[in-house]
Amino acid sequence: MAQALGQVQQSSFIPKKWQIINLVALLIFIIFPFVAGTFQTNLMAKLLLFGILGVSLDLVWGFTGILSFAHGVFFTLGGYATAYYLKLNLSAAANNYGGTVPDFMVWNGLKELPWFIAPLQYFPVAIVAMVAIPAGFAYAIGSFIFRSKVSGVYITVITLAIASALTTFFVSQQAYTGGTNGITDVSKLILFGMVVPPIGIYFIILAFATLTIAGSWWLTKSNFGLILRSIKENEKRISYLGYDVASFKIFVWTLSAAIAGICGGLFVPLNNFISPVYLGVAFGTQIVIWVAVGGRGTLFGPVIAAILLGQLQNSVDRITQDWQLIVGIILMVVVLFLPDGLMSLLPNKLFSSSSNKLEKT
């Protein structure tokens, strides 16, 4: 791990054209809630979160070659940490039973808060848990997978198994997780003694998205990013050069899980619920689709794809419930005619990619 951290240096600057494009895009997102309605603002905030969730997968799949269906798991773990905090801080008057124990726990015979959930009623604990639980879980399974030199399709199979197993586990633990329904009817997010309005949550998400994309760009353009791309292209060669490949994989895997966990944590105050449905393979597949359609190894691609597909779903939903068929057709077209995703339609000179450095070495 120390070797991996030591390579985070010599980051290249963002080209001027990209700086201008990014500033214009950021300005559009800043203005958006003032010209769009409440529904569209909330929808855009959710799609931004999903786009950043795609970026977290892009770090491990697009740059390192690790296809994972478990990022919905990390998203949900972070979401539950925040959901417990908001649910436990719901006023007694707003609770169905007028007490401090959440309604779904009372329904299942619990008379007091479980010891492992009680600390989440405190904001600092919940914030740390939102990041530490998914990151710690990812580090544990990542250490096992990558130190055991599991690779290729076997990693994908393991992530599928993890997503399926945890879905079953969370549904079965109804007294602690709310079962199939999850945790609903949570309190409003309060910061510095004030209730955060929907537009405030939008700007928190926008700030997080901006920082994540900027940080991911810097990281992937550093020596660390070059090594990740090298691992994707030829893992054995990098190992022969003396690099601890497992450390690099564990680091980026854990980092991506932390980002996914924050996405889940911000999703709850925006949508007022979290449920095991986001643990499942179906949601994990959606994340893969955003990255594939947008373009692997581009960072911006998953965000664009999540927004476009989300807005498409919202529009098609008004006409037919078969929006999955439309998305499936789009995915087929992209795979057949745009294997590098939508971002491949942009001129190559816009990118100052470290992959070009790799090709020259």
Task: Please say if the pLDDT value at position 40 is more than 70.
Answer: yes
Tell me the chain's radius of gyration from C-alpha atoms: 21
Question: Do the Cβ atoms of 50 and 306 come closer than 8 Å?
Answer: yes
Q: Residue 150 has what DSSP assignment?
A: -
d(CA 361, CA 359): 6
pLDDT of residue 94: 60
Q: What is the pLDDT of residue 295?
A: 92
281 within 8 A of 69, measured Cβ to Cβ: yes
- The more confident residue out of 354 and 151 is 151
| The predicted structure's pLDDT at residue 5 | 52
Q: Do 8 and 219 meet the contact criterion of CB atoms below 8 Å apart?
A: yes
Identify the DSSP state of 149.
Answer: T
Distance of CA 151 to the CA centre of its chain: 22
Residues 6 or more apart in contact with residue 93 via CB below 8 angstroms? none
Please give the pLDDT value at position 351.
52
Q: What is the pLDDT of residues 192-243, one digit of tens each?
A: 889 999 999 999 999 999 999 999 999 998 999 999 999 999 888 888 888 8
Of residues 180 and 327, more confidence is placed in 180
Q: What is the pLDDT of residue 140?
A: 97
Tell me the C-alpha distance between 320 and 323, whole Å.
7
Identify the band that residue 276 occupies on the pLDDT scale cut at 50, 70 and 90: very high
Residue 260 is which amino acid? A
**The residue to which tokens 């692997």 are assigned:** 296
Question: What does the alpha-carbon distance between residue 195 and residue 189 come to, in Å, rounded to a whole number?
Answer: 6
pLDDT value at position 123?
Answer: 95
Least confident of 64-68, 86-90, 139-143, 321-325: 321-325
55, 295 Cβ separation under 8 angstroms: no
Structure token digits, residue 238: 């990098």
> What is d(CA 110, CA 183) in angstroms, rounded to the nearest whole number?
15
In the three-class reduction of DSSP (H, G, I as helix; E, B as strand; rest coil), residue 273 is classed as strand
